[in-house]
């Protein structure tokens, strides 16, 4: 969809890192379309399945470098915005990356958040309404209409 507006995902940065950021933002939002798409891309560019599987627990995992960890913290701070966490994540990110690298990562994260949230708002990503229901845990009364 982004290509229709002239967006190209071909960036000069580290493809593995940028794909991990896209996938992490998709997990945080959560967007099933984006999760499928970016998991497939991650696999195609050579990111091992075990790394993809451990992405939600990146803080506890030893599979991610210090640079990747700083970038993932930044992605989370920018996606689930908190001024203090964002400032700290940005400062840590700058210890590992150039200003240009940080700008590129911010663009990827912001773009992912924008497209994901637009798709969710438009209803383009089907959400199963039964997943959020809790009333089917308890058997309904005979007098209660189904």
Is the residue at 43 inside a domain?
A: yes
Could you give the CA distance from residue 24 to residue 73 in angstroms, rounded to a whole number? 10
Say whether 33 sits in a helix, a strand or coil.
Answer: helix
pLDDT in tens, 67-120: 999 999 999 999 988 888 899 999 999 999 999 999 999 999 999 998 877 766
**The Cα angle at residue 18 between residues 61 and 41, in degrees rounded to 5:** 90
In-domain check, residue 94: yes
Q: Is residue 146 part of a domain?
A: no
- Greatest Cα-to-Cα distance within the chain, rounded to the nearest angstrom: 66
Domain-located, residue 61: yes
Q: pLDDT tens, 7-48?
A: 455 556 789 999 999 999 999 987 888 889 899 999 999 999
Per the model's pLDDT, the better-predicted residue between 132 and 121 turns out to be 121
In a domain? residue 60: yes
Q: For the stretch 35-64, what's the b/e string if a residue is b when 16 or more beta carbons lie within 10 angstroms of its beta carbon?
A: beebbeebeeeebeeebbeebeebeeeeeb
Here the CATH number for the domain that contains residue 50 is 1.20.1290.10
Residues 6+ apart with CB under 8 A from 29: 79, 113, 116, 117, 120
């Amino acid at each position: 969809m982004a290509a229709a507006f002239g967006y190209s995902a071909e960036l000069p940065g580290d493809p593995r890192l940028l794909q991990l950021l896209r996938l992490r933002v998709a997990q945080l939002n959560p967007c099933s379309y984006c999760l499928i798409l970016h998991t497939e891309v991650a696999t195609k560019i050579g990111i091992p399945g075990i790394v993809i599987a451990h992405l939600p627990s990146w803080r506890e995992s030893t599979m991610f470098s210090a640079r990747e960890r700083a970038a993932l913290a930044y992605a989370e701070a920018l996606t689930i915005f908190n001024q203090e966490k964002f400032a700290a994540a940005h400062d840590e990110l700058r210890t590992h990356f150039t200003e240009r690298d940080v700008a590129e990562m911010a663009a990827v994260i912001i773009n992912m958040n924008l497209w994901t949230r637009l798709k969710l708002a438009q209803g383009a990503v089907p959400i199963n309404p039964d997943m959020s229901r809790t009333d089917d845990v308890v058997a309904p009364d005979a007098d209660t209409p189904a």
